Structure formats: C-alpha cells, structure tokens
Structure 1
Amino acid sequence: MSLLREAERCIANQGTHATLNAFITTRQHSGPWLQRVRDAETRRTQGTSKSAVDGRLIAIKDNICTRDLPTTCASNALDEFASPFNATVVEQLENAGAVVTGKTNLDEFGMGSHSVHSRFGPVKSLRRDRNEESLSAGGSSGGSAVAVATTQCHAALGTDTGGSVRLPAAYTGTVGFKPSYGLISRWGVVAYANSLDTVGIMGRDVSSVNDIFGVLNRPDLRDPTSLSSFTRSRIDANLRTPALASRATSPLKIGVPIEYNISELSPSVLCAWSRSLAYMRRQGHSIHPVSLPTTKLALSAYYVLAPAEASSNLARYDGVRYGNSISDASPGDYIYASTRGVGFGSEVKRRILLGAFSLSADAMENYFIQAQRIRRLVQHDFDTVFRACQPLAFGSAVKNMDSEKNGIDVLICPTAPSPPPRISSFMGNETVTSHPHAYMNDVFTVPASLAGLPAISIPVTVDSFVDSGDVALAGIQIIGQYGDDRLVLKVAEQLDGKRL
C-alpha cells in the first residue's frame, strides 16, 4: 500500500471511530503535513527514504510535548498548553520523516489503568463479540492503543511508568514495548514518576515497533536520565561475551516465574501462557521455572514510590509557575489551594495525597524507605535469574552465581491477569468509581518497571479455548535483562501474530 493511501485510510478511520475517544487533538485533514507524506512517497519511489518510518502517521500520547499541537495531559491543570518546543522523541520522529497525526487520550497525567480518568471522557475499546458494550482500553496509554488497534495511525508513542503501555496493548490486541530505562529520551515528557517513567512504543506488529525503536534509541544530553554513548557501548560489550553472543544461533533458555501463576489468573490467560510456552519449546527453546520471591511485594512498593514522586512533580502546578490560576478567588482564599482543587481530577488528588503522606516525616521510614528497599530486592531477584549480568552494577554484584551457565535469557509471563473489564463495571452516571481491583491490573507489569527492564506485550490468539470453540486473545509479556532490548524484540517476533 502506498504511503498516501495508508495516510488517507488512517484519517478516514479517525472519523469512523471518533466515538472511541482515542484522540484529544488531530491534524486537519489537509494541509502541509499531507504534502510531507507525498514527499516521503517520492523518496520511497526513488529509494532515498529517510528511515523505515518516513511518511508514516504516528500518534503521540498527550503528555508528550508538541510544538504544533496542544499538550493537555487530559487535565484541567493544563488547558490547551502550547509548548514552545517538541519533545526529543517527537523531534527524532519528524527528522526521520514521520508525521505526527494527533495527540491521544489518557488517564490524567498518566495516573490510571483504564484511561477513564480524563477530562475528555473515557477511551473505549471495541468489543470482539456480539455484545456491543465497551471494554476498558487499559491505561494510561489507552488512547494510543485504540488508535493503533483501529488503524487510526501507523503506530503510536505512549509512556510506561508501571505498565501503561503494556496493559493497554494486552487489552486491545496490539504490541506494546517498554525499553530499558534510559535508552529513550524523556526530555519534553511531562513527568509522573521520574525514576520509573519510560517512553514506550505501540504498533500492530513487532516489526513496526522495532522500526521506531531504531529511530528513538539515541542518547540525549538534555535528559539527565538518558544513557550516554559510553554507557551504551558498555552495555553492548556486556552482551558480546562468547556465551551470550552464541544466543544468535543456539536455542534460548526461557524462564517461567512461578510467582506469576496466581489464583486470580483467568483460564483464558493461563491457556494463552501455556500454549505460548509450548510453542517456544517446539521451536527448540528450553523452558525453566524460576523464582522471583519479591514479586508479591512489588505492587505495594510501586504504589508508594510512584505517588511520592508524583506529589513532588505536580507541586509546580500551583497557579503561579504552571497551571491555570484561579483569578476570581475571594480575599483570604489561597490561590494555590483553589488552583489545585479545580485543576486536578479525583484520581490525581488521591495519588498526590498518598504520596505526600508517605513522604511526611512520621511516615517516610515506614513507607517510602521500605518501598525503596523492596525495589532493590526486586532488582536483585531479576539479576539472580538472568544469564546476562546487570551491566550497570559494579564489583561483586556484576556476576550472579554461574549466571552465564545456569541463568535464563528471557522471562515469558502474562501481561495482565484477566481479559479487559467492561467500562460499566467501574463507571456509573459518567462518574468513575475508585476500586482497589483497578490497581491490581498492573501486578505483572510493575516488577519490570521497578527494575528498569525491557518488556514487551504481544497479542496471542488461542483457538478453541477449553474445547468450547471460542477464540481467546491475551497479552503475553516478554522480559529481558537490562539493556537486552534487541533479544526481547527478537523473541517477540517469534510469537507475534501466532494463533495457538
């Protein structure tokens, strides 16, 4: 298909699927950007394309700054904020010839698991059976996921703090990739939790995700968390040892974390997981059970650490430096309190309060410091089971026990414990109801985020589920050692698009 025809189809689908609420802002249907697609088509014909994404329409999550389109973070605190610059990832895509087609809907400031905490209304996912009731698109990058799933764009960028790219991918049948922390620049991304935030990539297949990763995987001096060229070379050298280099031609050792086989795991997800492992075994790879004992504590630690960082980051939206000032506050009122009370939604307020409490003098030792210790244990669990060593560790921590001999190459596990719930199960009369179960959806995605590891969710279709003749679709997650992103993508390609 020509680039121009693909772009026109994406634009047409944006109108067809407008009720799904995937986009907050879109480009006009004609204009200079369409000429950029035509120019890319000419370059493709001449064999001089700038990159694999030259002329492709890419959607951008609306917490990533764009100069030509407003950035809102789906919040009243940023009402049509016009950024004076593009985020580094947007700049890199445009330099590679990609065309930004619009800004996608999300949970306010990225805080949520279902993309319903938005001032623009919830994102809705297409139902795959005769029941027309809308399903959750996952969160917080639900708009990006639905835009990709319904071909409203070629691919999309999201952000992943505790699973916000992978969970929507699992719920919508798309591919969602969270790279190793620090590989992709976060400069120009509105922060939620700095030590966890990662720009992620969503596409309909692993190949398109891989193409975009190749464009964005660059150091950025403007981002203090971006890995330098020297550190990237050190990571590559760590993966070129004889034992690890042989993985290109020899079978892989695939780990199965026993702690992920929880009682809440739905039969359809369990079936997709077991059949995925059986398929990989038929390809010649070996399957090995491993233990990650701190997994059961990871979710609790995450919901202490992330809100704590969020409460600090969002303090700047005070109506003086950033955010919308409440100018009609009566004498004696506090502009700061009024601004934050009107600007933030209920879920953001809830997490700010939770974070502020865990950082208070009386609670810090019992909550925040303990959560940091758990995070270190989670990282240690992963380092113990992987064959590749942690490239950023020093001294005795660099080598785990006989890692290159006994360790595994990647982990394969579910992305979410159950299929997507109905939106009506947590929304009534246009009001979102808070429920503890909403936070449990991230139980399988949070551990990799705490450790900064690369992880990807791919859709796996299971035919004749439990001999009932039904078809089940589940997200299967592949996790690798820090810096081993290419291996994660390689394994994902082997499972991509498979009906098992």
Structure 2
Amino acid sequence: MSLLLEAERYAANQSSHIALNAFISPLPRQSGQWHKQAKDADLRAKQGNPKSKLDGRLIAFKDNICTRDFPTTCASRTLETFTSPFDATVVQQVEDAGAIVAGKTNLDEFGMGSHSVNSHFGHVRNRRHLSAGGSSGGSAVAVATEQCYASLGTDTGGSIRLPAAYTGTVGFKPSYGLLSRWGVVAYANSLDTVGILAKRTSVARDVFDVLNKHDPRDPTSLSPLSRSRVLSKLSAPHLSSRLKSLPLRIGVPLEYNISELSPSVRQAWYRSLERLSQQGHTVEPVSLPMTNHALSAYYILAPAEASSNLAKYDGVRYGTQFTNKLYAKTRGAGFGPEVKRRIMLGAFSLSAQAMDNYFVQAQRIRRLVQRDFDAAFRAAHPLAAEPPYSQTGVDVLICPTAPSPPPSINLTINGAGPLDAYINDVFTVPASLAGLPAVSVPVYGDDAAGNQGSAGVAGIQVIGQYGDDELVLKVSELLEGCGL
C-alpha cells in the first residue's frame, strides 16, 4: 500500500471512529497539505531515499505537547483557545523525519487521571464500553483503532503503559531524560517522560530512534557526555551479549503478586513467564520491598510538583481571563475537579506544617525504591559510581501493567472514586519514581471454556535498568503475540 493510501485510510478511520472521542483536534480531511506530504514521501520511497522509517506515516500527539498548527489545550477549559507559537522538540523531530502530524489526542486534563474521563472535551471511549486508561487514553485508542500509525503521549506515573494495557497496544516509556520535554506542558518535572504508543514494538522502536537525541533547550535532557557513559557501560561485552545469546535472567517481583490481582491478569503473567522459560531464559524471584510504598510517595510528589507548575495559570500569564475576580475565577472555573484536587493535595504537602512529614519522607522513599531496583538488576545504574556488573542480579523484570482488566467506562464516570483510579497505577509508579525504561505489551488470555486467545488482552510490563531501553524493547518483542 502506498503511503498516500495509508494516510487516507487513517484519516477515514478518524471520521468513522469520531464517537470514540480519541481526538480533540483531528487531521483536517479537506486539507491538501498532508496529501502533498504523503505523495512526496511516496516519491522518496520509490527513489529509495526515504527520510526515515517514519517518512509519510501519520503520528498523533497528546494534546499537552505543543504544536503550531493545532491548538494545545491539555483538555482544559483554561487553555481551550490556546495555540502555541512553536512546536515541541519531539514534534519537530518527527516532522524532520518525514512524518505527518495526525492531530492532537484527548487526555485527562493536564495528564491527571487514569481513565481519560477528566477532559473538558468529553471522555475517551474505548471499544466495548470499557475504560481507555489514562491519561494518554486518546493516544492509545487512536492507535488501537488505526486512526494513526503511532502516537506520542506522556507518562508521569503510568500514563502511557496503563492505556496500552487497556487497549491492547504497545506502550513504551523510555528512561527519564532520553527524550526531550521541551514544549511539553509540565505536570511533574522530575517524573514526566514522553512515551510512545504503537501496534507493534518494532514501530515504537522506530519512533524512539528518531527522538532519542539530546536537546540543549531541555534542562532535564541527558547530556551527550552522560549518554556516552550510558552507552559505554551498557555496551560492554558481557552486557551486550544479553541481546544475542541465551539465557536472559528474568526477575519476577514478589511484591507485585498481590491478592487483588485478577485471575485473567495473573494467568497472562504466568503465560508470559512460561513463554520466556520455553525460549531458554531463566525465571527467578526478586524482592522489591520498598515498592509497597511507591504509590503513596508518588501521590505526594506528583501533586506537589503539579501545584507549583500550575501556579502560572492565573488568568494573567496563562489561562482563561475573566473580568471579575480574575484569579479566583480562573482557578475555580478554569480547572476541573481532579486538577483542583491535586493542586490542593500538593499545596498541603508543601506547606510548612506538612513538608517534613510528607514531601521529605516521600523523597526518601523514592530513593529507597531506586535502591531496590539497582540491587535487583545485573547491570548497575550506568550513572552511578558502583561496580558495573552483578552475577546474582536479573536482566529485566516482568510483571503486570495493571492489577485488573479495564473497568466499564460508566463505572469510572459514575461509580468509582479518586482512590480507585489512583490504585490502578500501583504497578506502573515504581518504574516512574526510579526513571527506568518500561514497556507494556499485550498478552492474550483464555475464556471461561479455556479457549486460548479469546478473552481479550492483559498488559504485561517489562522493566529494565536505567538506559537499558533496547533490551526492554527486545524482551517486549519476545512476548508479542503471546497467547494467540
């Protein structure tokens, strides 16, 4: 199929799936610009000179990533008329690679949510009336329903991986600092990571290869010197052989085997481990005791950073302007209930009375979570002054992405409270606190009669040491199609 025909098919799917509300600003069907871009990419492909593997492909962007040609709303009333004067670095990188911007996808307001129902533009609908996950639910549904070739979102505590698990797609959160955050509206600076959603791991890798570059405009972007240090440590002979020879050492975190784990997710987890074992890899139990406290720490640290970042939306610098009671109106009417809840949580934990008991303690827990991961992996953290290799550690960790299948969308809107939504992040938050690469890959389950591959999918998460993104993607490929 030519790239033009593929682009037209994606655009047609955007129109046919409009009820799913995956896009806030979809691709303009009547515009001749993207037709010309696709035709030019077809010509380059025929001449054997494509710009990249993304040349002529339609890539969608979560609507908290700034674009000049589409509004950037963050799914919030306070930004519903805002258009950025510049493109985010990741947008520019994708366009330089020949890709076509397929529109801006729906999300939980400012990325705060687990089901993509906290949007000023209406909630995202997954197929079969199930939750699409959040906050990058629109990006995941757009990929799952072939409204785009791939999409970019953001992952603060699981906002790429949870939607991937709920929609049967691949969701990849790279190591913190590898992809530029310049031009991405901040939620929590020390946690925010641009991530990739795609139908296949190979597509996610192609997008990652285009974006994995230092950006001097982003203060959190890993410097060229640090990147070379990561590559040199993780490309040592005894480490790079993990990608080529057997066996890998697969870690199973015991603390993730919680009693609330649904039978279908547990079955998919077992099936994943069985598949890797059959391929010759060894499976070993691993203990990560401090991950039991990771979720509590996250919901102190992330709201604290959010309350600081959202202070600029005061109706003067940013935000909807009201003629009377400017600040109060902008904050009260401009933000939705979940955003206001997290601002209040963050403001409290940063107050003088609560700082030591909440924020400081959460930072200590974060450090202990990082130490647990470092103790578990065979490869040492490449930016730490520690021995480069452990004979007793594991190469990757395998665990569920979410403790249960996607709930009914009606339940998430009408029945579940905020705490129920927060609990969905219990398996994704630890890797975010440690800044580690993680990918959610779909693994198929059985129905009640034991018919294999007929009961939908569960997301299985692969977590690696910092900078070990390529190994994480490799193991994700080993698991693709498991259960079919």
TM over 0.5, shorter chain = yes
Partner of 2:161 in structure 1? 166
- State the 1:242 CA deviation: 3.0
Partner of 1:210 in structure 2? 205
Q: Is the 8 A contact 1:273 1:413 kept in 2?
A: yes
Q: TM-score, normalised by structure 1?
A: 0.94
- State the 1:32 CA deviation: 1.1
Which amino acid letter does the alignment assign opposite residue 255 of structure 1? G
Residue 399 in structure 1 maps to residue 387 in structure 2: yes
Q: Is the 8 A contact 1:271 1:465 kept in 2?
A: no
Partner of 1:441 in structure 2? 424
CA distance in 2, matches of 1:155, 1:497: 18
Partner of 1:130 in structure 2? none
SS state of the match for residue 102, structure 1? strand
- State the 1:499 CA deviation: 2.3
Which amino acid letter does the alignment assign opposite residue 370 of structure 2? Q
Which amino acid letter does the alignment assign opposite residue 308 of structure 1? A
353-362 vs 226-235, which moves further: 226-235
SS state of the match for residue 65, structure 2? coil
Q: Is the 8 A contact 1:268 1:472 kept in 2?
A: no
Q: Is the 8 A contact 1:243 1:404 kept in 2?
A: no
489-498 vs 15-24, which moves further: 489-498
Identity, % of aligned pairs?
Answer: 67
- Superposed, 1:44-443 pairs within 5 Å as 44-127=45-128, 134-250=129-245, 251-327=247-323, 329=324, 333=325, 335-394=326-385, 398-399=386-387, 403-428=389-414, 434-443=417-426
Partner of 1:487 in structure 2? 471
Q: C-alpha root-mean-square deviation of aligned residues, in Å?
A: 1.3
The Cα offsets for residues 285-307 of structure 1, whole Å up to 9 and x where unpaired, read as 00010000011100000000000
Unpaired stretches in structure 2, ≥5 consecutive residues: none
Which amino acid letter does the alignment assign opposite residue 431 of structure 2? A
- State the 1:178 CA deviation: 0.1
Q: Is the 8 A contact 2:11 2:27 kept in 1?
A: no
Aligned length: 481
- State the 1:340 CA deviation: 0.7
Unpaired stretches in structure 1, ≥5 consecutive residues: 128-133
SS state of the match for residue 377, structure 1? helix
- State the 1:390 CA deviation: 0.6
- Superposed, 1:4-83 pairs within 5 Å as 4-29=4-29, 30-83=31-84
- State the 1:435 CA deviation: 3.5
CA distance in 2, matches of 1:166, 1:194: 19
The Cα offsets for residues 349-408 of structure 1, whole Å up to 9 and x where unpaired, read as 0000000000000000000000000000000000001011111113xxx238xx431110
Which amino acid letter does the alignment assign opposite residue 494 of structure 1? L
SS state of the match for residue 152, structure 1? coil
Partner of 1:131 in structure 2? none
SS state of the match for residue 256, structure 1? strand
Q: TM-score, normalised by structure 2?
A: 0.97
The Cα offsets for residues 258-286 of structure 1, whole Å up to 9 and x where unpaired, read as 00000010000000000110000000100
Which amino acid letter does the alignment assign opposite residue 443 of structure 1? V
Which amino acid letter does the alignment assign opposite residue 315 of structure 1? A
CA distance in 2, matches of 1:216, 1:466: 44
- State the 1:117 CA deviation: 0.1
CA distance in 2, matches of 1:117, 1:160: 16
- State the 1:338 CA deviation: 1.6
Which amino acid letter does the alignment assign opposite residue 412 of structure 1? I
